[in-house]
């Protein structure tokens, strides 16, 4: 039945080459933790992706209750954390997942750096990886404001002050982030849009490019 459905689709769409391109390739021994335990260092990239998936899923559920305006933001977070079934778990996953994804990303970066995997011919994928790193830091910075508690508010205020002290582009950057003269309603709406639409879009695009290049170039050889 399943096979018949697949063949029906395959006849019309020719999907076999597509998934074979994605899935059908050999993985060398030196990155396989089943053969060498020390190869676990090669898992951090995959784990970063795994945590990012957790972040996307938990974030999608959070937006079901979260209200991005200064009157209700904190109240909605308080409500979803304390009144909704599993709300605390979902918010907990998103909150702690933010830190864990940074840790995994950092470990992955260290692995790539210290195994010299960024060298020819993978220079471009390293650059994409660094852009991914910056995008993740941006997600961390914008997401920190959204609960709209004192910690969020004052940390963002300091962050924007730091951005404003950059010469030449500083004040423009601060205005862009703040959406006005003070950290307030505009800032929250803006950070929400950045956190939920712009930066995840960039993240997904960059991750697609990252994986495409890994698939094209293969994983780097053993040291």
Beta carbon of residue 59, minimum distance to other proteins (angstroms, whole number): 13
- Residue 146, SS3? coil
- Binding flag, residue 192, other proteins (CB under 8 A): no
Q: Which of 1, 2, 34, 85 binds other proteins (CB under 8 A)?
A: 34
The CA-CA-CA angle for residues 140, 186, 84, to 5°, reads 60
93 close to 110: Cβ distance less than 8 angstroms: no
Window of 4-12, 117-125, 189-197, 198-206 that interacts with other proteins by CB under 8 A: 117-125
Rounded Cα distance between 137 and 133, Å, is 6
**Residue placing its CB nearer to other proteins in the complex, 138 or 200:** 138
Q: Which of 9, 182, 201, 204 binds other proteins (CB under 8 A)?
A: 182
Q: Which structure tokens are listed for 211?
A: 């994986």
Q: Which of 20, 171, 180, 197 binds other proteins (CB under 8 A)?
A: 20
- Binding flag, residue 95, other proteins (CB under 8 A): yes
Handedness of CA 201, 116, 103, 146 (dihedral sign): negative
- Binding flag, residue 10, other proteins (CB under 8 A): no
Q: How many residues bind other proteins (CB under 8 A)?
A: 87
- Binding flag, residue 17, other proteins (CB under 8 A): yes
139 close to 200: Cβ distance less than 8 angstroms: yes
Phi and psi at residue 32, to the nearest 5°: -100, 110
Residues 6+ apart with CB under 8 A from 58: 90, 91, 93, 94, 97
Q: Which of residues 126-155 bind other proteins (CB under 8 A)?
A: 126-127, 130, 133-134, 137, 140-141, 144, 147-155
Window of 1-9, 120-128, 193-201, 205-213 that interacts with other proteins by CB under 8 A: 120-128
Beta carbon of residue 212, minimum distance to other proteins (angstroms, whole number): 12
């Amino acid at each position: 039945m399943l096979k018949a459905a697949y063949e029906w689709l395959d006849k019309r769409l020719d999907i076999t080459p597509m998934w074979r391109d994605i899935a059908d390739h050999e993985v060398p021994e030196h990155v396989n933790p089943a053969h060498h335990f020390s190869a676990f260092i090669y898992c951090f990239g995959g784990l970063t992706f795994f945590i990012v998936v957790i972040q996307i899923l938990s974030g999608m559920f959070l937006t079901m209750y979260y209200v991005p305006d200064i009157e209700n933001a904190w109240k909605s977070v308080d409500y979803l954390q304390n009144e909704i079934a599993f709300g605390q778990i979902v918010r907990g996953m998103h909150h702690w997942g933010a830190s864990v994804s940074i840790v995994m990303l950092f470990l992955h970066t260290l692995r790539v750096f210290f195994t010299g995997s960024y060298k020819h011919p993978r220079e471009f994928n390293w650059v994409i990886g660094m852009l991914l790193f910056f995008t993740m830091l941006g997600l961390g910075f914008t997401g920190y404001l959204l609960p709209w508690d004192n910690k969020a508010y004052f940390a963002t205020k300091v962050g924007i002050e730091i951005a404003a002290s950059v010469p030449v582009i500083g004040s423009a950057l601060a205005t862009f982030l703040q959406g006005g003269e003070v950290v307030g309603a505009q800032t929250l709406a803006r950070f929400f849009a950045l956190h939920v639409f712009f930066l995840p879009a960039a993240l997904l695009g960059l991750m697609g490019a990252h994986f495409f290049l890994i698939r094209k170039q293969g994983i780097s050889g053993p040291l």
